[in-house]
A = this chain, B = another copy of it.
Amino acid sequence: MGKTDVTSAAEDDGGSPTMRTTETLLRVLPMALCLAALVIMLKDSQTNEFGTLSYSDLGAFRYLVHASGVCAGYSLLSAVFAAVPRPSTLSRAWAFFLLDQLLTYIILAAGAISTEVVYLAYKGDASVTWSESCGSYGGFCRKATASIALTFIVTLCYAGLSLLSSYRLFSKYDAPVAYSTTKGIEAATFNA
């Protein structure tokens, strides 16, 4: 009984200290990168003889700014949650899993659509008469590219976090004893 309680407490505190530290760092890193991507994009504006071009003129870049903000906020909150050893419930594991997946999709979409806009700004598209703009707004395009590159590194971090939170969630799911036993009998029949 004593051992059982100890085991369950060990299971519930969110894994070993090393694993907790790794997870916390994996959550702090994208927070920093998101903030960097956000600041670079917010300051991305260029004025020349043709006029002024700012990030807010392009829907994709506005979405990237919002997505980076949400991602930085969530990364901070989840890093704090991950750092503190506390009972890990199934609902908490589900919440981490679903939110990590969602953030991965949101930030990947932000990177993808911004890449498309920068691609069009560099190359243009003659068939729909969209001219290239980076010849005139080179600095603007370079800053946008830097911000997008950071966003893709964040995407990689979040792909890793999704893996980690799926592991945390689904490794809880072999628990019911009856299920394992039934499966054992089933296999015995199958093998007989």
Contacts and interface: CB of A to CB of B under 8 A. Distances in A.
Nearest to A173: B171
B186 A57 contact: no
A112 to B, nearest CB: 4
Contacts of A189: 1, 4-5, 8
This protein's copies in its complex: 2
A10 B109 CA distance: 40
A94 to B, nearest CB: 11
Interface string A34-73: 0000000000000000010110011110000000000000
A58 B125 contact: yes
A74 interface: no
Interface string A132-167: 010000000000000000000000000100110011
Contacts of A117: 116, 120
B3 A184 contact: yes
Contact of A180 (B7, B133, B185): B7
A76 interface: no
Interface string A174-192: 1111001011111111110
Contacts of A53: 127-128
Contacts of A112: 108-109, 112-113
Interface of A: 1, 3-11, 13, 51, 53-54, 57-60, 101, 105, 108-109, 112-113, 115-117, 119-121, 123, 125, 127-131, 133, 159, 162-163, 166-167, 169-177, 180, 182-191
